[in-house]
Amino acid sequence: MKLVVTGPFESGKSKMIYHITDGSCINVERGGTTIAMDHGLANIDGLSVFLFGTPGLLRFRTMRKILSEGADGIIFVVDSVDPESDARAKLFFREIAFFLPGVPCVVAANKQDLDTARPVDHLRKSMRFLAGLPVIPVSAETGKNVDSMLRTLLYLTMMQWSSVFSKLAEFSGQKKGLKNLMSDLNLPREQAVGYLRRFELRKLLEVEVGDERFVVRDPVKHFLENPVLIMRR
Ligand SMILES: Nc1nc2c(ncn2[C@@H]2O[C@H](COP(=O)(O)OP(=O)(O)OP(=O)(O)O)[C@@H](O)[C@H]2O)c(=O)[nH]1
Ligand SMILES: [Mg+2]
């Protein structure tokens, strides 16, 4: 899956990606500030998770737009310590909701390892836009709750695609896989092939030349059939 990690300046986006990928990520930065992007790949129980971190300076909006394109889920990182960051968080939230309408989002209330970190109910009071979103207290420094935050988002993301995913699992390996997908989901060929491309890029499946047959990768098949399994370690 493709996840975008966004949120205001210095909230801990880069550190979060560093933690999730065990350090195997890149950060295009200057003096500690991300000026282009973070990028890393994580493997969660066989599921490939492509992470794209955005710059937190307001002027890099175009970069955030490019990085957000086609994302399946959003990790929205807020600074639990610094109340001055809240107004910027609101701007960034509006922006990502505009780039990715309807895409599942979890809020990472970061820096919870610090004594001065505000609890989630305080954050909800000072950032009203968080209403209706899962807000998870985490620390990118210690790693506390980061894994369960990530799994929650992956679950929501896979649920969003559940009608397509269950059919992908069902028709995997079948000779007329594409045709079956089209007729069961009532899709034109172009759109069904679009889905195959999308999820081939995300390493969920492999598509044969000619597109007629596709094969879902073994380690992810049970997640496509039953997304809640990603929540169980
Ligand atoms: N104590 C603590 N410090 C953190 C945590 N996450 C990030 N930091 C610190 O906060 C500062 C900013 O972290 P980054 O990961 O660079 O934040 P960012 O959101 O990527 O920043 P920009 O890309 O510049 O917007 C750094 O000094 C980090 O060490 C955390 O969970 N706990
Ligand atoms: Mg950064």
User: Does residue 56 line the site of ligand 1, with CB under 6 A?
Assistant: yes
Taking 90 as the threshold, does the pLDDT of residue 131 lie above it?
yes
Predicted pLDDT of residue 110: 98
Same CATH fold assignment for domains 2-159 and 162-231: no
Indicate whether this model's pTM tops 0.95: yes
Predicted pLDDT of residue 233: 73
Nearest atom in ligand 1 to the alpha carbon of residue 9 is 25
Q: What is the mean pLDDT of residues 174-187?
A: 97
Asked if residue 60 lies in contact with residue 35, where contact means CB atoms within 8 angstroms, the answer is yes
Q: What is the mean pLDDT of residues 172-189?
A: 97
Taking 90 as the threshold, does the pLDDT of residue 22 lie above it?
yes
What one-character DSSP code corresponds to residue 7?
-
Taking 90 as the threshold, does the pLDDT of residue 232 lie above it?
no
**19 phi-psi bin (left φ>0, alpha ψ -120 to 50, beta other):** alpha
User: Domain 162-231: which topology?
Assistant: Arc Repressor Mutant, subunit A (1.10.10)
Asked if residue 128 lies in contact with residue 93, where contact means CB atoms within 8 angstroms, the answer is no
- Ligand 1 centre and the CA of 19: distance in Å? 11
| Strand pairing class (135-137; 105-110) | parallel
* Residue in 4, 5, 6, 14 to alter for ligand 1 test, most ligand atoms within 8 A of Cβ: 14
- Ligand 1 centre and the CA of 9: distance in Å? 9
Asked if residue 44 lies in contact with residue 151, where contact means CB atoms within 8 angstroms, the answer is yes
Task: Give the model confidence (pLDDT) of 70-82 as tens digits.
Answer: 999 999 999 999 9
CA distance 26 to 18: 8
Nearest atom in ligand 1 to the alpha carbon of residue 33 is 24
CA distance 44 to 60: 30
User: Does residue 40 line the site of ligand 1, with CB under 6 A?
Assistant: no
- Partner residues linked to 110 by β-bridges: 79
- Partner residues linked to 58 by β-bridges: none
pLDDT category of residue 179 using cuts at 50, 70 and 90: very high
Architecture of the CATH domain 2-159:
3-Layer(aba) Sandwich (3.40)
Exposed/middle/buried for residue 135 (C-beta within 10 Å: 0-12, 13-18, 19+): buried
User: Does residue 12 line the site of ligand 1, with CB under 6 A?
Assistant: yes
Task: Give the model confidence (pLDDT) of 30-71 as tens digits.
Answer: 999 999 999 999 999 999 999 999 999 999 999 999 999 999
- Ligand 1 centre and the CA of 43: distance in Å? 23
Asked if residue 138 lies in contact with residue 120, where contact means CB atoms within 8 angstroms, the answer is no
State in Å, rounded, how far the first CA of the chain is from the last one.
18
* Residue in 10, 25, 64, 96 to alter for ligand 1 test, most ligand atoms within 8 A of Cβ: 10
Compute, in degrees rounded to 10, the torsion defined by CA atoms 54, 115, 84, 156: 40
List of E strands, the chain: 2-6, 25-30, 33-44, 47-53, 73-79, 105-110, 135-137, 205-207, 214-216
User: Does residue 19 line the site of ligand 1, with CB under 6 A?
Assistant: no
Domain boundaries in the chain? 2-159, 162-231
Token pair, residue 199, equals 């999820």
- Closest ligand by atom to 117 CA: 1
